[in-house]
Amino acid sequence: MSSVEHLPSDEVSDDEASINNFFEDMLDAVEESDSDGSEDGYASEQLLSEEKCREMRTYLRAYGEQKFLKKYLLDNKSEASDPSELPIREVLYALGIRSSLVLEDLDETTLVQLLQLAITRELRRRISLDNVTTLDDVISLIKNSKNIVLLTGAGISTSLGIPDFRSDSGIYRKLEAMGLSEPQEVFDLHVFREDPSIFYTFSKEILPTVTRFSPTHAFIKLIQDNGKLLTNYTQNIDNLESHAGISTDKLVQCHGSFASATCQTCGHKVPGQELFPDIRMGVVSHCKLPASADADDSSSSTRKRKRKAAYDEDEDEDDDDDDQEQAVQESTLAGSRSLCNGVMKPDITFFGEALPKTFETRLLGQDIDKCDMLICIGTSLKVAPVSEIIMVLPAHIPQIYISRTPCTHAEFDVSLLGNCDDVVEYICTKLGHGWELKHEMITENGFNGEVAKTGERTYKFTRPSDAEGKEVRDIAPPKGD
């Protein structure tokens, strides 16, 4: 699940925030298209050599934004023989914006705004460590580290059939197919308060249906069992870390979970499973806690005062008829007020809702000083503030990335691309004694795929494919949930 990116209200206006979000989304889309090679034009033609691109990025970091723009944009533009050939496109290319659809079709004003964001991202980008570059380095780091921080996302649960949110087969696409024009509104706190039925109509799509955990969850448990887990920050709301045995004092559920729920009227908490029948039926779940005694006493006193006033005004009215009518009214009121009846909300973090306090207190109060290795697994790192962990931790701390697709907006020391379960199975095999990964879903004879170095600091994990191009996995049949 996701959480809203918090912007300081006294520094960024709503309009500015909307503009920033627009260009953030545009830049994310460009980086994704560039990483999968789906765009033509500049992505393959190369406006500048990679050596020149590195030179420009190095200059930006060394001399700052103003000198960078003067040297590579303003001076070049004034000397350009053809004013229509904007040097800004070359600068954007050097900063990693290489989509021909963007560089050719956007006007200069829009490109300038995009350039500002690209520069900001580049200046914030962490520089990879010179002494951590290979898969062997990753194995050595896990062996020797004592306080590993793990940041996990939906990719560690997809092998169990639990969809992510943003992929082509993810939750948001399903909600769109069900007729919801703005899928994220399902998880918007303001929308929930105005009309909780929207959430309850669609939330069955994200309701946890399994208690089994994946091999990647088991790998995290191994890190804990070997005394090396400092903290597991999870963005997932399926609560499978708890089923895998991750200790509560080692786990921060950044976006909450379905494990519990809270009444939005009286604050009463219940186990999340009590809401599941209502969620499956698509009906709003209400609080079944008895209404407060104070409220009942107050209502009773009011009714007594009204009865006395009515009696004083008409002493001749038939007492028996009045008492009988009043008894019926009180019975009706008592029935409607016997329960709190407030709307129940699962304790998952909605857009517009603050993250648990433990997120910030643990990260800044402990992990920033103790962490000696960061492993990000199965997350695209697109949702702040959780994604900011990679920039909050000191830059000298080794950072490893494990996921199906590369992360183009962050600088990891080593990226291991493939199914998360495959990668951790391979890692455990290399770690040796004490790291035996025992799980019903892993291959019986160890990882039988290929590991290829596909770029600097990047490795690709693939399995043999059958005639239809589907991955072949020699796995034991899963047990019941």
Give the residues across from 251 on adjacent strands. 232
Over the Cα atoms of the chain, what is R_g? 28
CA nearest 170: which of 205, 209, 208? Answer: 205
- The three-state (H, E, C) secondary structure of 176-214, written as one string: HHCCCCCHHHHHEHHHHHHCCHHHHHHHHHCCCCCCCCC
Q: Can you tell me the distance from the alpha carbon of 36 to that of 28, in angstroms, rounded to the nearest whole number?
A: 13
Question: Per the residue annotation, which of 255, 286, 409, 439 is the catalytic one?
Answer: 255
**Residue pair 121/23 in contact by the 8 Å Cβ criterion:** no
Residue found under tokens 């990025």: 57
User: φ and ψ at 262, to 5 degrees?
Assistant: -130, 135
Residues 6+ apart with CB under 8 A from 299: 333, 337
The secondary structure element, H or E, covering residue 417 is strand 414-417
- Euclidean distance between CA atoms 257 and 275, whole angstroms: 13
- Residue 248 φ then ψ, to 5°: -60, -30
Q: Is 217 a catalytic residue?
A: no
Which single residue is written with the structure tokens 């648990």? 356
| Residue with the two structure tokens 């460009």 | 30
Amino acid letter at 14? D
Question: What 3-state DSSP class applies to 325?
Answer: helix
In angstroms, how far is CA 425 from the centroid of its own chain? 24
Which residue is listed with tokens 């040796």?
432
Distance CA 5, CA 196 (A): 22
DSSP sequence for 56-95 = HHHHHHHHHHHHHHIIIIIHHHHH-SSTTS-HHHHHHHHT
Residue 29's CB is within 10 A of a number of other CB atoms, namely 13
Q: How many helices (H) and strands (E) does the chain have?
A: 20, 11
SS3 state of residue 304:
helix
The CA-based angle 303-304-310, given to 5 degrees, is 90
Instruction: Please give the positions annotated as active site.
Output: 255
